[in-house]
Structures are given as C-alpha cells and as structure tokens.
C-alpha cells in the first residue's frame, strides 16, 4: 500500500502525485478548517475557455413519494484547469476499472447525448476558444 494514504473514516485514496522535478520531496497533507464531506447524487458541468467546473448537487427525494417542485441543492463547486480535469478523469477511470475488476460492473444512469456534449463545446468555441 505504498501509493495509498489512510484517511479518516477508513477509506483510502491515492497520495497526491509528486512533481517530477522534486522526486525526493515529501508531501504533508493538512485539512483546511473549511474541509467537509458531502454526499452528492447529481452533478453538472460548466466549461469556459480557462477552466472546467463540476457543480455537485443533491436531490432531496423519497423513493415512491413524488415531490413537486423537485428540490436540487447545490453543495459544492470544484473549478480546475482543463489539464487538471483530464488528469482527474484518468485517475478516476483507473480507480473505477480496478473496482469493477474486483466487484463487477457499476450500474450508471444514461450518459449525456453526443448532441448535449457538442452543444456545450460549441458554446465555448463561440467565446473564441479553440
């Protein structure tokens, strides 16, 4: 478990990558006083020429009991550069693949259509990026 760090709550996560220009540097992780855990069951993205945001949301629902109007609470927004976002995607893909090898496929909701993704990218191009 040399590449894993133990976090509170018994979960483990990969250690942050050490920059290649400092291969022998140690990393000390300290939690901010603003740190908190949230549960999210919904998310949306925002993309600009400079960064990508993931807005984590929660739907307050009780199975079998319709709620009108549907209440969605935005819990947190993470803003990252395009390259950092791609790095997160790569790491999550590897983590999910390892999990599914061990425990079987994870069921998901349908992915967004290509039209929805192309529309989002098109709106960024209209801002003069790309």
Q: What is the pTM of this model?
A: 0.61
Q: Please tell me the predicted confidence (pLDDT) of residue 54.
A: 94
Which helix H or strand E contains 118, and what residues bound it? helix 114-125
Report how far residue 3's alpha carbon sits from residue 16's, in angstroms, rounded to the nearest whole number: 9
Residues contacting residue 106 through CB under 8 Å, at least 6 positions apart = 96, 99, 100
Provide, rounded to the nearest whole percent, the portion of the chain with pLDDT above 70.
Answer: 64
Give 92-121 pLDDT, tens digit per residue: 999 999 999 999 999 887 766 677 666 766
* Strands (E) located in the chain: 4-6, 12-14, 42-47, 52-60, 71-80
């Amino acid at each position: 478990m040399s590449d894993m760090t133990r976090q509170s709550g018994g979960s483990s996560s990969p250690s942050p990558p050490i920059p290649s220009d400092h291969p022998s540097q140690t990393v000390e992780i300290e939690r901010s006083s603003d740190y908190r855990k949230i549960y999210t069951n919904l998310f949306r993205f925002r993309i600009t020429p400079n960064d990508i945001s993931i807005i984590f949301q929660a739907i307050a629902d009780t199975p079998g009991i319709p709620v009108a109007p549907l209440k969605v609470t935005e819990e947190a927004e993470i803003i990252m550069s395009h390259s950092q976002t791609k790095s997160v995607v790569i790491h999550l893909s590897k983590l999910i693949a390892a999990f599914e090898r061990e425990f079987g496929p994870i069921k998901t909701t349908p992915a967004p259509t290509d039209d929805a993704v192309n529309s989002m990218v098109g709106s960024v191009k209209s801002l003069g990026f790309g």
